[in-house]
Amino acid sequence: MKRYNVPEIADNVFWVGVKDWNRRMFDALIPLPQGTTYNAYLVVGKEKTALIDTVNPGFEQELAGKVDQVANLDDVDYLVMNHAEPDHASAIPFVLNVTEGAKLVTTKKGAKMAQVYSGVPEERIRIVADGDTIDLGGKTLKFIDAPWLHWPETMFTYLVESKVLFPCDFFGSHTAAGFYDDEVEELIPFAKRYYGEIMMPFNKMGKKALDKIAGLEIEIIAPSHGPIHRNPERILEAYGKWTAGETREKVILVYVTMWNSTEAMIKTMAETLLGEGIEVALYNLVNADLGDIAKDLVDSRAIVLGTPTVLGGMHPQAIYAAHLVKALRPPLKYGVVLSSYGWGGGALKQAGEILGPTKIEVVDALEVHGPPTADDEERIVEIGKQLASKIRQG
Ligand code: FEO
């Protein structure tokens, strides 16, 4: 029989998740340069056993092998579903099939999702409300309503005696590297990237959840992706800033260029901002990693979008980026649009239409004919200084 690494993260609490080292894309949207993990946990009480979340499709046997190494999968009494997305919930039918008496424990909305996504019969579901508990015998699971992190049905589970919080996606990172937070050199950059990609649109719900757990004694945060936080204060502090939308004196410049004219404008803007003491992150959309852009959107105070005019509108890559910025809802306060056209403009108008409904104040927009002239360059420097001044005001 295959032997697995099944670490005991707290007294009779075992990691039974899997590492997906080679996955490179999530939700057909998010790049995974270091793969990811689907963390699941087995909590063994004196009388009952609970499995907290499951794994992505294709890893059912590995999950079963790990559970069987420390207990018996068919003895599981409760299968806690903190979140219904298939990367954590797809093995539910497999587990419920093996464990004929086990109940799926989830929120009211989660029950509906479990029926839709996993075909779980109603009689196998136990719905829990905020503050409800289940006693496993010396181990108490307490359920905390935490919706929209990252779907509407999400909840956290807190193991009272061991002071372990299982928040599913919240506090996660997409990396297969390491096991505990202190073993991953790039923990915060990876956590920030993940936050920008997944949690940033739900900042307000994240803040509410943080306020809700503020009174709990937490020794370990055991999320469902990436390292387990045995030093929880580090990630809690980072999440405090990110959910509050704290920004730095920083600009993210994203652009696409066809004949280098837009790039020349963007570079003049970047030079100006750097000269004004403003931090800069710059991405050419043709070869940029979306996760890096998401990471820098978390704390940038302004964005500069550069796009040529193509057939009367923005370049399609820039349209994609603008829509993404709108959807991810970063805490950006200011924006500038720079554009170059060959025979007729139109990109600025379209950029205005896409970004108009956001809270971003467009400080200025400049459209030039062909490569920027010396006068155009001067104008960009002026706009850059104006933007820097706004950024310094907060
Ligand atoms: Fe990791 Fe929203 O699933």
For residue 256, how far is its CA from the centre of ligand 1 (angstroms)? 31
Instruction: Check if 169 has its Cβ closer than 6 Å to any atom of ligand 1.
Output: yes
Domain presence at residue 2:
no
Compute the residue count for the chain.
394
pLDDT of residue 238: 98
Q: Locate tokens 């579903």: which residue?
A: 81
Domain presence at residue 203:
yes
Integer Cα distance of 77 and 50 in angstroms:
6
Shared domain check, 93 and 14: yes
Confidence check: pLDDT of 1 > 80? no
CATH label of the domain that carries residue 342: 3.40.50.360
pLDDT tens track for 18-72: 999 999 999 999 999 999 999 999 999 999 999 999 999 999 999 999 999 999 9
Q: Write down the mean pLDDT value for the chain.
A: 97
- Protein residue whose Cα sits closest to atom 3 of ligand 1: 85
| Of 148, 146, 230, 238, the residue nearest 191 (C-alpha) | 238
The residue from 194, 213, 243 where one domain ends is 243
Shared domain check, 304 and 275: yes
pLDDT tens track for 122-174: 999 999 999 999 999 999 999 999 999 999 999 999 999 999 999 999 999 99
Integer Cα distance of 49 and 149 in angstroms:
26
Instruction: Check if 376 has its Cβ closer than 6 Å to any atom of ligand 1.
Output: no
Residue 12, number of CB atoms within 10 A of its CB: 19
- One-letter amino acid at 92 equals I
Domain residues for the domain of 324 are 251-393
Atom of ligand 1 at shortest range from CA of 151: 2
Confidence check: pLDDT of 246 > 80? yes
Domain presence at residue 3:
no
Instruction: Check if 103 has its Cβ closer than 6 Å to any atom of ligand 1.
Output: no
Instruction: Check if 145 has its Cβ closer than 6 Å to any atom of ligand 1.
Output: no
Domain presence at residue 1:
no
The number of distinct structural domains making up the chain is: 2
Residues 166-195, mean pLDDT to the nearest whole number? 97
Shared domain check, 347 and 216: no
For residue 34, how far is its CA from the centre of ligand 1 (angstroms)? 17
Atom of ligand 1 at shortest range from CA of 150: 2
pLDDT of residue 327: 95
For residue 29, how far is its CA from the centre of ligand 1 (angstroms)? 13
